[in-house]
Amino acid sequence: MSRVAYVDGQYLPHRSAAVHIEDRGYQFADGVYEVLAVTGGRLVDEESHLIRLAKSLSELRIAAPMSNSALRIVMREAIRRNRVREGILYLQVTRGAARREHAFPKAAQPVLVVTSRHTRRTDPQIAERGIAVVTIPDIRWQRCDIKSIALLPNVLGKQLARDAGAFEAWQVDREGFVTEGTSTNAWIVAADRTVMTRRADTAILNGVTRLAVLEIIARDGYRFVERAFSVAEAKAASEAFLTSTTVDLLPVVRIDDAPVGTGMPGPLARKLREGYLAHVTEAA
Active site residues: 147
Residue selected from 180, 195, 249, 279 as contacting ligand PMP according to rule CB under 6 A: 180
Distance (Å, whole) CA 177 – CA 230: 4
Q: Please give the DSSP secondary-structure letter assigned to residue 86.
A: S
Residues 208-227 that bind ligand PMP (CB under 6 A): 208-210
Determine the straight-line distance between the first and last CA of the chain, rounded to whole angstroms.
23
Binding of residue 183 to ligand PMP (CB under 6 A): yes
Residues 190-209 that bind ligand PMP (CB under 6 A): 205, 207-209
Residue selected from 170, 178, 245, 255 as contacting ligand PMP according to rule CB under 6 A: 245
In degrees and rounded to multiples of 5, residue 56 shows phi and psi of -60, -45
- 16: CB partners within 8 A, 6+ apart: none
Q: How far is the CB of 243 from ligand PMP (least distance, A)?
A: 6
* In the complex, residue closest to ligand PMP by CB: 207
Binding of residue 148 to ligand PMP (CB under 6 A): no
Print the binding letters for residues 77-106 with ligand PMP: x by CB under 6 A, - otherwise: ------------------------------
Distance (Å, whole) CA 113 – CA 130: 34
Distance (Å, whole) CA 99 – CA 274: 50
Size of the site for ligand PMP (CB under 6 A): 14
Residue selected from 39, 135, 184, 197 as contacting ligand PMP according to rule CB under 6 A: 184
Residue selected from 92, 185, 197, 238 as contacting ligand PMP according to rule CB under 6 A: 185
Binding of residue 236 to ligand PMP (CB under 6 A): no
Distance (Å, whole) CA 190 – CA 219: 20
Q: How far is the CB of 208 from ligand PMP (least distance, A)?
A: 4
CB 147 within 8 Å of CB 53:
yes
Quick one: 47 or 101, whose CB is closer to ligand PMP?
47
Quick one: 24 or 210, whose CB is closer to ligand PMP?
210
* Three-class SS of 25-77: HHHHCCEEEEEEEEECCEECCHHHHHHHHHHHHHHCCCCCCCCHHHHHHHHHH
Q: For ligand PMP, which stretch binds (CB under 6 A), given 54-62, 156-164, 194-202, 241-249? A: 241-249
Which among 57, 53, 56 is positioned nearest to 75, based on CA atoms?
53
Q: Which residues bind ligand PMP (CB under 6 A)?
A: 35, 154, 180, 183-185, 205, 207-210, 243-245
